[in-house]
Amino acid sequence: MQKAIIFLGSLFFACTLHAQSADGGNASDTTHRPGMHRNWAHRDGRDGEARRFGRNHIHFSPDQRKQMQVINADYKNKAADLFKNDNQTLGQYKAGLLALQKDRKSKLQALLTPEQKEQMEKRRRHFTENAQVRAAARMERLKIHLNLSDQQVATIKSKETDLRSQMQSLHDNDGLLPREKMEKFRELGAQRKEIVKSVLTPDQLSKFNEMRQDHGSHRDGFRHDEDAR
């Protein structure tokens, strides 16, 4: 139930996560941290999965909430102490922060009851199934309105399946900080917006753009192409 852990850290307590900026991620491991504080001293907000879990309304007992508070407070204090240590490289700082996050996930996981784990897994399956139904309905609408060929439909489905696989791999990657994941998800989201366009003829593309303008980005199944904006 590693996926469940991603949600827990920020459900009740918004923890401060120190992450590297885009420039910091390319820094050499031999570069020491003095002078780099501005690149690292920003907060990471809750990721999309944490927000989704917050809407799942999983019930936690008062004792669980107290223990979560202790675990998250301990993480926050240790992360702050790690950040204050200037005698380390950026790579060492990131490794230390990832180790703290892994430890926090393990401790939060230990708080879950079997029933809570099952409830979270059911909700995750329900979300996945609903997403698949919406994707199938959207594809059918596109096929009808744009008169897509079977080859075009197959190409779109193949590319979207590959993209979902990349997103799942990124989701499961514990070697990235939250902000790093967010940036990579944005990059994949930009690719997703172009999948349908990439297989359309000029006439179909013109029709597709007209449909999006007529129906808006959140209507008639075209939200998928605007989600990443």
Give the tens place of pLDDT for each residue, 136-160.
998 999 999 999 999 999 999 999 9
Q: Hey, how many other C-beta atoms are within 10 angstroms of the C-beta on 173?
A: 11
Rg (Cα) of the chain, in Å, rounded? 21
pLDDT at 215: 64
Closest to 105 in 3D by CA, of 149, 153, 50, 155: 50
* DSSP string over 127-164: HHHHHHHHHHHHHHHHHHHHT--HHHHHHHHHHHHHHH
Residue type, 130: N
**DSSP structure class, residue 46:** -
Backbone angles phi, psi at 87, to 5 degrees: -90, 50
Taking 80 as the threshold, does the pLDDT of residue 100 lie above it?
A: yes
101-121 residue pLDDT tens: 999 989 998 999 999 999 989
Residue 8 and residue 143 in contact, taking contact as beta carbons nearer than 8 Å:
no
Residue 3 and residue 123 in contact, taking contact as beta carbons nearer than 8 Å:
no
Look at the block and give the residue holding tokens 């029933």.
115
**pTM of the predicted model as reported, rounded to 2 decimal places:** 0.58
Q: Compute the residue count for the chain.
A: 229
Strand partners, 18: 43
63-91 residue pLDDT tens: 999 999 999 999 999 999 999 998 899 88
**pLDDT band with cut points at 50, 70 and 90 for residue 47:** very low
Residue 128 tokens read as 């996945």
Where along the chain do its domains lie?
2-112, 116-225
